[in-house]
Structure 1
Amino acid sequence: MPVSTISVKSNSPPAPSPESETLEFKWGQKRGKGGKKRDIQFYQSFTLRGVDYSLFDNVYVKNDFAEPRIGKIIKIWETPTLERKIKVQWFFRPIEVSKCLTWIKIYFNELFFACGDGDGLATIHPLESIAGKCNIVCISKDSRNPQLSDKVTWSAAFVFYRYFDVGQRKIVEEVDDKSIGIEVKNIFNKLG
């Protein structure tokens, strides 16, 4: 009897094999020094495993669960002991905030960007915990958000235009710089 196979499109990056874990790494553009002793070097960008990353890129982050977490890089730095770190502000999948979605229609590939004040907004991780870039398109009609073509939007792994307030535990449709902790322009689509 012939065996048939089914191809399934995955929104998750492939898991690196142990043989491919030889870490290719290079720092990019420096931003400045900080910390109590001004001994922490902040960066704008870096290259990891042959992929260029910059502040405000959307990434998959490895964790202990089957699916990697999805977030936006909001800080990049190296400590005096040469530890490479990133701070990631999270996107939430609908299943992660399902108790807050009563009577809300969602897109099949929609995410909610973390905002507000409280646990779950952002966390710090070793830079090496990045599993890859994540293609997310902001479909907000906000005049500050560059609108992308339908082709680009339909080819995105995920879309978002709403936010999950981690403090109030509710979905919101509008935010400002203070409620998300970064400039709003950094969550919208980039052109070019």
Structure 2
Amino acid sequence: MAATKPNSTLSPPPSPETLEFKWGKKRGKGGKKRDTQFYESFTFDGEDYSLFDTVYLQNGNEPQSEPHIGKIIKIWEVPNREKAKKVKIQWFFRPREVSKFLKRIQIYYNELFFATGVGNGLTNINPVESIAGKCNVVCISKDARNPQPSDEAVQNADFVFYRYFDVGQRKIVEEEEVDEKSVGIDVKKLFNKMP
């Protein structure tokens, strides 16, 4: 499925029975009964997805509204529930979604803020079928661990990000104030992939 551009709307999702789906590499088992199978990747509707990919997600029951954007941080299949396929998503926020907390900071026209901290809005669990396509988010952080994107990569990006929104403290956090503990995942997973 082709990625949806930032200002477009999504058409109603196809019936789950008509979509192609295939699991990728297994990670291990977990859960209370140690019967939940975790994965590193899957193929859905002809597109390959892996852990830490950034994706568009359907906006609940409103397929004509703007999609949500998040990073896949966990993938699994739940046993005994018709083999429900799930993804855990850590969210990006658009500036208008956190506008009352922005104060007077400069914002790029296509900038997102990655969710950090502890509280509502950090992550949630979604069915795989809620994914509407990949989203091209380029990290423009000057952190030495971040492979710096080319001007062309930034220009072709759907969105850029380098700052964070702390969902618990309800404030914008600059990149130098963030570490693995506050983000909840390895910060390097947020940076650009090596070419």
Larger Rg: 1
1:138-189 Cα deviation digits (max 9, x unpaired): 0000001010111011110100000000000000013111101100010110
Cα root mean square deviation, aligned: 1.7
Q: Please give the TM-score of this superposition, normalised by the length of structure 1.
A: 0.91
Matched, 1:69 2:68: yes
Q: Which range moved further: 94-103 or 62-71?
A: 62-71
1:84-107 Cα deviation digits (max 9, x unpaired): 000000000000000011111100
Distance 1:73 1:18 in 2: 19
Q: 1:19 to 1:124 in 2, by over 3 A?
A: closer
Aligned residues: 184
Contact kept? 1:13, 1:60, Cα under 8 Å: no
The corresponding residue for 2:41 is 45
The corresponding residue for 1:131 is 132
Q: Secondary structure at the match of 2:33?
A: coil
Distance 2:123 2:59 in 1: 14
Give the Å deviation of 1:11. Answer: 1.8
Q: Which amino acid aligns with 2:46?
A: G
Unaligned runs of 5+ residues in structure 1 are: 1-8
Give the Å deviation of 1:15. Answer: 2.9
Q: Secondary structure at the match of 1:151?
A: helix
Contact kept? 2:136, 2:158, Cα under 8 Å: yes
Distance 1:16 1:146 in 2: 35
Unaligned runs of 5+ residues in structure 2 are: none
Q: 1:39 to 1:161 in 2, by over 3 A?
A: same
Q: Please give the TM-score of this superposition, normalised by the length of structure 2.
A: 0.90
Q: Which range moved further: 81-90 or 13-22?
A: 13-22
